[in-house]
Each structure stands twice: as C-alpha cells, then as structure tokens.
C-alpha cells in the first residue's frame, strides 16, 4: 500500500459538485492499494497515519502526531499512486489491486482510523473526485508499506 500524507489546515473532496467529505486541521491521505497487499500492509499504514510526528510542538519541532493535536483525517482512494512510469509515456496501472480488493482495504483503513478515535472523512471509491486542500508547511510524506 502507498499513501501520501499531507499536513493540512483544511481539505475537502467534491463529487458531482457536492462536498462528500471535509476536515479542518489534520491530514489529507491519498491511499493506493497494490495487488497482493495484506492486513499487515494495512496495519503498517494505519500505525504510521496515527503516530507519525509531523505536527509542530510549542518549540516549532515536528514532534506531534495527528492524534496529539486532535486533528482529523480526510482519506481519499487513489489508485494512480501505483502508476508505473518506467517505460513509455503513458503510466501503467497493472500493479493496482482489483477494485473490490482496493475498496475493501480502503474501507478497512478508514474504519481502523475511526476505531482509534480519529474524526475521519472520506471520498467515494472509484468516483471522479476534486480534492481541495491547504497544505501546511508544506509537509508531504510518502509512505510505502513494502519499502525497505
């Protein structure tokens, strides 16, 4: 699984001119599910999302997690994070999980964050979405559950 975490002062996702998810301060998470991803990959990304210290403390150091600051999460599925651009000029998406599997792991990710006590908003799996955000810092972190 791959995720892009962006520290935001606010973010929302719009589908067909309707806001389907919105948060104030917290994290916008773009989540891509790869073929072969397991519950272990899911646990890794949930743990990182909950505990990664990318928010500033009183001294201006990145020492606080989204939990520590009482932030929210906007989770948006994005299979294009699995794009293979090594050959040619058009990205290939053969590494992305099948939609049923991708949606199941995406929904499990959202549920796990909620179960941990976070406020979580989400996009609509498979929909054409417009994501609007204000990246704070800017702070943008790439996570890959399979990276060494």
Task: Report the catalytic residues.
Answer: 78-80
- Alpha carbons 113 and 49: distance in angstroms, whole number: 8
Q: How many residues in total does the chain contain?
A: 148
Per the CB < 8 A criterion, the answer to whether 46 and 112 are in contact is yes
Partners of 72 in the β-ladder: 26
Q: What are phi and psi of 119, to 5 degrees?
A: -75, 125
């Amino acid at each position: 699984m791959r995720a892009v975490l962006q520290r935001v002062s606010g973010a929302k996702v719009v589908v067909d001119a309707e806001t389907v998810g919105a948060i104030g301060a917290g994290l916008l998470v773009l989540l891509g599910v790869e073929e072969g991803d397991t519950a272990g990959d899911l646990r890794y990304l949930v743990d990182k999302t909950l505990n990664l210290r990318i928010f500033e403390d009183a001294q201006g150091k990145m020492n606080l997690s989204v939990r520590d600051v009482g932030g929210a999460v906007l989770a948006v599925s994005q299979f294009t994070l699995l794009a293979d651009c090594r050959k040619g000029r058009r990205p290939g998406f053969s590494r992305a999980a099948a939609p049923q599997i991708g949606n199941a792991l995406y929904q499990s990710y959202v549920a796990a964050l909620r179960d941990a006590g976070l406020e979580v908003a989400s996009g609509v799996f498979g929909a054409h979405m417009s994501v609007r955000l204000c990246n704070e810092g800017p702070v943008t972190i790439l996570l890959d559950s399979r990276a060494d």
